[in-house]
Amino acid sequence: MKVGVVTFPGSNCDEDARLAITEALGAEAVRLWHKDHDLQGVDVVILPGGFSYGDALRAGAIARFSPILREVQEHANRGGPVLGICNGFQIACEAGLLPGALLRNAELKFIHQPVHLRVEQVDTIFTARYARGQVLQIPIAHGEGRYTADAETLERLEGEGQVVFRYVGPDGNRSAAANPNGSMHDIAGIRNAKGNVLGLMPHPERAVDPRLGPADGLALFESLLAAVHA
């Protein structure tokens, strides 16, 4: 598996994502520059976390017009896997790869802390190595993570099993207290209808090395590896 990690001006989790692929997973990763028009034959594209273009206008709004996004869109349209993490999720929504939008956290603060997520779907290329209902501990670090969509979109996401990760308490149960940012339906991550694009606010690439805490993010990358090699 060859993974491309896009660097936009203001990306700051691109190296973490690359190291998760190369060090923790032992797969190949290449750096893709936002001005490139060449995905270098990668199997998977990661849109990493950070503050692309300083979050000017809205988080992800300007990155969507980066030259490389055209190739990323074509890759996604061909069914190629795209993983948007944090700012990458915001970019994917702005680019129309995923429905909805991510707004300022309900409490107006930047939040960086470990959170608990429940794996809602395991029949995806991103989560096949998890168990349904498994509770993960993965960090978040964002100011604009409040997932918002209209009622019709939410109904479709729920009905089609497109909600992949939800914020829960350590016991796996949903509650207002367990939702860090006010996301609708406690949504932490969704996939597109075709299933090849996943966006999530938490940072699985920061949870891949047991020496640094729970490595609950690793199985996401292992799932991708297995899916690409299948």
Partner 1 sequence: MMFRIHLQIVPRQGLLDPQGKAVADALHALDFPAVRDVRIGRHLVLDVDAADGAGAESQVRAMCERLLANPVTEDFAIAGVEAL
Q: Return left, alpha or beta for 193; rule: phi > 0 is left, psi -120 to 50 is alpha, else beta.
A: alpha
- Residue 139: CA count within 13 A, CB half-sphere: 17
86 in active site: yes
Min dist CB 108 to partner 1, Å, is 5
Min dist CB 144 to partner 1, Å, is 11
Of 101 and 122, CB closest to partner 1: 101
The binder of partner 1 chosen from 23, 38, 150, 158 (CB under 8 A) = 150
Min dist CB 177 to partner 1, Å, is 17
Q: Which of 86, 94, 116, 120 is catalytic?
A: 86
Q: Please answer whether residues 20 and 205 qualify as being in contact, where contact means their C-beta atoms are separated by less than 8 angstroms.
A: yes
The binder of partner 1 chosen from 148, 156, 169, 174 (CB under 8 A) = 148
* CA–CA dist 230, 132 (Å, integer): 21
SS3 106: coil
Query: Interacting stretch for partner 1, rule CB under 8 A, among 92-100, 122-130, 191-199, 200-208?
Result: 92-100
Both tokens assigned to 16: 């973490």
Tell me: does residue 55 bind partner 1 (CB under 8 A).
no
SS3 199: strand
Residues 21-50 that bind partner 1 (CB under 8 A): none
* CA–CA dist 58, 214 (Å, integer): 32
Residues 107-136 that bind partner 1 (CB under 8 A): 107-108
Min dist CB 121 to partner 1, Å, is 22
93 in active site: no
Buried b (16+ CB within 10 A) or exposed e, 82-117: bbbbbbbbbbbbbbebbbbbbbbbeeeeebeeebbb
Provide the annotated active-site residues. 86, 203, 205
Contacts to partner 1 by CB under 8 A: 57-58, 61, 65, 93-94, 99-101, 103-108, 146, 148-150, 182
